[in-house]
Structure 1
Amino acid sequence: MNHEIRYPVRVLLADDHALVRAGLAALLDAHPQIAVVGEAADGGQAIELTQNAEPDVVLMDLSMPGVDGITATRELLALRPQTQVLVLTSFSDRDRVRDALAAGAIGYLLKDSDPQDVVAGVLAAAKQGSPLDPRVARTLLTEGAVGPKPQLPPLSPRELDVLRLVAKGMANKQVGRALGISERTVKVHLGNVFRRIGVQDRTSAALWARENLT
């Protein structure tokens, strides 16, 4: 199924600090292609508001009272899988990152990021890109690097091309345009790549590429 982007991108903010929500709302609403459609103070509210506001992107904190961000991510995506969850948190430890990505988050940013990186991350997430703070990627790669790298699986030149562009944060449509192939063909190549390198999603594939193809 093609993922058509509608503008403005509808964003729901989920953070238990009112001051953080206010700052994010001001930042994002100032962009002509983004509209904040709701604010949640905890994970339970995020799940409820996602069903009512139908956001394209949920900007999700992880540490919140009641229902935490990881649980909220998993539950709201089960109810509305077309929404993209972009984590925005203070925590960059490997376990939290992996848990968030396993729950279905498409990207992971840190709260001390440059404001424009947050804006760019929201727009990338809406296009099914995988925005990932470089420090988070480094944490995953360095903490997970034990022993020699495994032998690379037999990926075709075209599959490698697709994987490298995905690792740069490109969405399927952008990859197809860059390579002169259809979005459907990109999805076929990605399915083959996922199977051969043993991952389940594009974010994990991007991390794998950064570790093994550099």
Structure 2
Amino acid sequence: MSGLIKILLVDDHAIVRAGFRLLLASEATLAVVAEAERGEAACQLYWELQPDVTVLDLSMPGIGGLETLRRICQRDSQAKVLVFSVHDESVYVNRAMAAGAKGYITKSSAPGILVAAIQTIAQGGVYIEQGLLNAPPAAQAADYRAIIETLSAREFDIFLLLAKGLTAHKIAEELCLGYKTVANYGTQIKAKLKVASVAELAHIAMVLGVMKG
């Protein structure tokens, strides 16, 4: 995408939001168009403003960050939400990505990582801070790898493109296939891997090392 990236910033600490806003203001392509300190307000602002990227904390009063993420992504499957949290445990990363997040970074990360993550997600990619994704249990990882190895060349191509955040329409254009064909492939791939979302495909691709975060 080109032009200004509109950002909704969601964190319950005013001083934290002020710091983020100052950092993001140094980038000419980024603009914080609204802020919220609770999930309920964040959802309302999301529907009203349709930001390009929502930067979301998980630990908030009210419905909390994870429920906020779920509500936004259930209503808008194309929502681009970056979780920015103090939590670096894999359980938080896994739950956020399964709920529909397109990225996850920690508040202890270098300032440039926030900017890079926002830009990557705005362009349709997935960004997870290096070191956050622990390998799944050995048996599960082996199952994933075995399944991926059975995919046809075309299925594997589509798996990687879906994991990178491309829509079925964009994949159809890139591979010169019909939209329904790509959609059917996507459904089959998710069924084989027993996942429901593109974010989960991205997670599998990254933990198995077939796609870099």
The match for 2:147 among 147, 152, 155 is 152
Shift of residue 190, structure 1, vs aligned partner: 3.7
- The Cα RMSD (Å) is 3.0
Aligned to 2:94: 98
Q: Displacement of 1:14 after TM fit? A: 0.4
CA distance in 2, matches of 1:148, 1:23: 39
Quick one: which amino acid aligns to residue 108 of structure 2?
D
Give 1:63 shift: 0.3
Q: Say whether the 8 Å CA contact 1:13–1:36 is kept in structure 2.
A: yes
Deviations 1:23-48 (A, max 9, x none): 21122232222211111112122112
Residues 1:92 and 1:156: Cα distance change in structure 2 (over 3 Å): same
Q: Give identity over the alignment, percent.
A: 31
Counterpart amino acid of 2:147?
L
> Which residue identity does 2:56 align to in structure 1?
M
Could you tell me which of 100, 104, 108 is aligned with 1:112?
A: 108
- In the TM superposition, 1:10-21 aligns within 5 A as 10-21=6-17
Equivalent pairs counted in the alignment come to 205
- Give per-residue Cα distances to partners, 1:42-98, cap 9 Å, x unaligned: 212211221222212110000011221001111233444443111010112233222
Structure 1 residue 147 displacement after superposition: 7.1
Q: Greater CA deviation, 38-47 or 152-161? A: 152-161
Tell me the TM-score normalized by structure 1. 0.79
Task: State the partner residue of 1:64.
Answer: 60
Aligned to 2:25: 29
- TM-score by structure 2 length? 0.80
Which of 117, 125, 136 is matched with 2:121 structurally? 125
Q: Look up the SS of the partner of 2:35 in the other structure.
A: strand
Identify if the C-alpha distance between structure 1 residues 148 and 62 changes in structure 2 by more than 3 Å, giving closer, same or farther.
closer
Give the match for residue 208 of structure 1.
204
Could you tell me how far 1:207 is from its partner in structure 2? 2.3
**Which secondary structure state, in structure 1, belongs to the residue aligned with residue 108 of structure 2?**
coil
Letter of the structure 1 residue corresponding to residue 59 of structure 2? S
Any idea what SS the aligned residue of 1:135 has? coil
SS at match of 1:116: helix
Indicate whether 1:163 and 2:133 are aligned: no
What are structure 2's unaligned runs of at least 5 residues? none
Question: What CA distance in whole angstroms lies between the structure 2 residues aligned with 1:147 and 1:103?
Answer: 20
Q: In 2 relative to 1, CA 189–118 (structure 1 residues): closer, same or farther, beyond 3 Å? A: farther
Query: Where do 5+ consecutive residues of structure 1 fail to align?
Result: none
